[in-house]
Amino acid sequence: MARLLIVGPQGSGKGTQGIRIAEAYGIPAISTGDMFRAAVASGSDLGNQVTEIMQSGNLVPDELTSAVVRDRLTQADAAQGFLLDGYPRNVGQVADLDAFLAGRGEQLDAVIELVVPREESIERLTLRAAEQGRADDTEEAIANRLAIYERETAPILDVYRERGIAVEIDGVGTLDEITDRLIAALEGRGLSRSTAA
């Protein structure tokens, strides 16, 4: 059982690595970005709200995000653990998540920080926008999201470092090299992989 959070700037590869780690540990990867993109695709009221926010390069408000994540964490597949990607992304959301998990007698086991230089993030995001035609990956939106990450999300790592559960991983290299570093770091913290994986 592992309750994990993966953190890194946009373009750090946390979505890809999150899925790989979740598969290795037999837990669901829960990405707020994916949940919001699914809402947008569905054309629901939530989706329409999210569309306007995302197109401007801004982040979905805390209350909305926390509600969506709490709902997802109560689903059966998350009972034996989970990997969160994109939440919590600020200190207020850390408190929301702490309160929710404490209510279930749980806490995070490890917080993975993928460290990638800013220039590398911008290069990867620009390439992704060209390959996938993602409208939310304009140059202005990318710069805005990286600035928000540096201002709002980076400080949550201080909270987790103080708790002794933050694990810093070099996010530059091949996919397999980075995955191997992640798994070695988690195993070093006593988190064994799923035997079903």
Report the catalytic residues. Answer: 14, 89, 128, 134, 145
Is the torsion defined by CA of 195, 185, 115, 65 positive or negative?
positive
The rounded distance, in Å, linking the Cα atoms of 17 and 6 is 9
Cα 120 vs. chain centroid, distance in angstroms? 18
CA distance linking residue 63 with residue 4, whole number of Å: 21
Segment holding 150, helix H or strand E: none
Q: Are 101 and 74 in contact (CB under 8 A)?
A: no
In terms of C-beta distances under 8 Å and separation of at least 24 residues, what long-range contacts does 98-105 make, across chains too?
100/66, 100/70, 100/73, 101/3
* 191, 5 contact by CB (below 8 A): no
Peptide bond into 9 cis (omega under 30): no
